Chain A
Amino acid sequence: MPRPAANLTIGVLTGAFCLAAGSSHPAFAQGAARPDFAPNASIGWYSYNRLFIAPASGAGPVQQDPAHPYVSNDEFRVTGKQPTSQLADLSAPILQPWAKEVVRKRNEIVLSGKPANPPWASCWPAGVTGFLLRPMTQAMYFIQGPKEVVIILSSKQEVRHVHLTDKHSANVKTSWFGESIGHYEGDSLVVDTIGLDDRTWIDGFGTPHTKQLHIIERFHLIEDGKVLEANIHVEDPGAFTMPWDAIQHYRQYEAAVRAMPIERLAQLASAPEGPMQEMVCADNPNSFLPGTDALPPPRANTPDF
């Protein structure tokens, strides 16, 4: 019978049109296959390691002077061992002479018994590589939108924007975090960053860089989804003698504390797992590291608007 069939056809066609119109809907976008670093709002990533991991082979990051092993504050809280500062191994082959001199001067401050504070200690941005070393006591969160991935350090509401596009802007202005573009490649999020100004520290050793810094990061899950690995490739012909690679590993809270070889977990300074909390660096702007070489926290002497 033709009429019921015609009505059914109209119904199906209308439905198909509506489904097609709704295909930019978030549910459809999220259904596309891509690595998922935030399957729910409570997934935050902790590194428990303030030092980059060297690659299996090839040029790697500046490392701790083996004569002065590094003991973090968290390790002290549990073992009672005297915490130590980061002190660079100046034999690092990647450092050009001027960069080595900058690191040496910082080492001298540390050896004289004073703290050598990175800019991020007084609320200045960590830059890209510094950002990757930060999430120890407070987690790093991924916000994966269809056209952009935002990576947030909860400890200071530090935000990195990664635009899912294949070309950098024609004229990139330098900035603290540079311009990051990215794409998904198989199981990885690959991020390419240029346009970093030269005020950030590459790491906790104070390793400097120039505006030629170019960083490629590859984020992917390993060990059955339990570990987030960041493979970092760094080029800066103005500061380094050669490109070098580094690795950082992150775990979710429970797994991160289990991976630490310590006994009294309750002593850790970490925030528990859960959705991102609001933490504001300049909450008490008068408390920052008086009597040290720390930069004063950023402040506006006249209102921005």
Chain B
Amino acid sequence: MESFKISVRAGSAWAALFALTALSGSAYGETPDISGTYWASEYQAKIQVLGGGDLPLTADGKAAYEKNVAGLKDGSVVDSARRYCVPDGLPRVLATPYPFEIFQAPPGQITIVHELNHQVRVIALDQPMPSEKELTTLPYYNGHSVGHFEGDTLVVETAGFNEKTFVDATGAPHSDEMRTVERIRRVSPTQLEDVVTIHDPMYYTRDWQARFVYALRNDVWLDDYVCGERHRDLSAVAGVRRP
């Protein structure tokens, strides 16, 4: 009788363990599958703070924002991402109304390929953030990213941004000291969520988040993107204003 009870528990324990592996994908260190082609179904030029409210700007942040807005209006500040198609930077690129792809390749890297401006984000898996020296010597439009999986979520830390990008299309500012953390995961079999935390004490009084959701669209093939040329029809993306 004793040995029968132990066997029953062992059998159900194995079944439970296998089930856990399938559900979480990480019980034995297997990584979740977040790869695919994704496309947002809505676009917002002004980034929406999770929880509502205005951007929590410091005095310097407010001044920088006003300067950007005025400059964009009178032409003294150029929106290079739209004029010359340089990368949008973070978090602005997360609002892209164009599709993008996530590849879990090569080994040790996640590669995100955007249709917009054919920009590419490289995320080094399970690596330390590059040194401050490297980050300040070679700042990137989209920053330097390192990531790791926590259960079903890819956590991406990014730092080493240049100062040539805006937080959003309205010209919200960031400094070169901004650091971001994204938590990226499938929230359903057909949707991916990216919740980004912005940390930039020079311009913002506190860390704040924004949330972006994308539909899985493996039926879509990314197009070429050359600045100034006609691109794909975005009429299915709510909120896109076509000039």
Contacts and interface: CB of A to CB of B under 8 A. Distances in A.
A21 B7 contact: no
Interface string B103-140: 11111110101000011101010000000000000101
A41 B109 CA distance: 6
Q: Which of B124, B227, B229 has the most CB of A within 10 A?
A: B227
Interface stretch (A79-87, A95-103, A157-165, A214-222): A157-165
Contact of B119 (A8, A38, A147, A157): A157
Contacts of A41: 106-109, 122, 124
A43 B18 CA distance: 35
Given A148-B101, A302-B243, A305-B43, A7 B108 contact: no
B12 interface: yes
B147 interface: no
Contact of B224 (A26, A175, A276): A175
Interface residues of B, number: 62
Contact of B15 (A10, A277, A303): A10
Interface of A: 1, 3-4, 6-8, 10-12, 14-15, 17-19, 21-22, 24-27, 30, 38-41, 43, 123-125, 141-148, 150, 152, 157-159, 161, 163, 175-177, 275-278, 280, 282-283, 285, 297-305
Q: Per DSSP, are chain B's interface residues mostly helix, strand or loop, or mixed?
A: loop
B10 interface: yes
A22 B14 CA distance: 17
A276 B120 contact: yes
Contacts of A8: 7, 11, 14
- The residue in B11, B25, B140, B231 that gathers the most chain A C-beta atoms within 10 A of its C-beta is B11
Interface stretch (B59-67, B83-91, B171-179): B83-91
A27 B31 contact: yes
23 contacts: A7-B7, A7-B12, A15-B18, A18-B22, A19-B18, A25-B30, A26-B104, A26-B105, A30-B105, A40-B107, A125-B226, A148-B103, A150-B113, A275-B122, A277-B138, A280-B87, A282-B86, A297-B227, A299-B227, A303-B82, A305-B43, A305-B242, A305-B243
Interface string B13-31: 0110011011001000011
A25 B222 CA distance: 23
B140 to A, nearest CB: 4
B133 to A, nearest CB: 16
B97 A297 contact: no
Given A7-B11, A18-B22, A145-B35, A305 B118 contact: no
A163 B218 CA distance: 11
Nearest to A165: B221
B12 A11 contact: yes
A150 B106 contact: no
Interface of B: 3-4, 7-8, 10-12, 14-15, 18-19, 21-22, 25, 30-31, 33, 35, 43, 79-80, 82-87, 97, 101, 103-109, 111, 113, 118-120, 122, 124, 138, 140-142, 218, 221-224, 226-229, 231, 234, 240-243
A203 to B, nearest CB: 20
B105 A3 contact: no
A145 B142 contact: no
A27 B11 CA distance: 27
A144 B222 contact: no
Nearest to B81: A303
B223 to A, nearest CB: 7
A189 to B, nearest CB: 14
B224 A305 contact: no
A59 B232 CA distance: 39
A285 B84 contact: yes
A161 B111 CA distance: 13
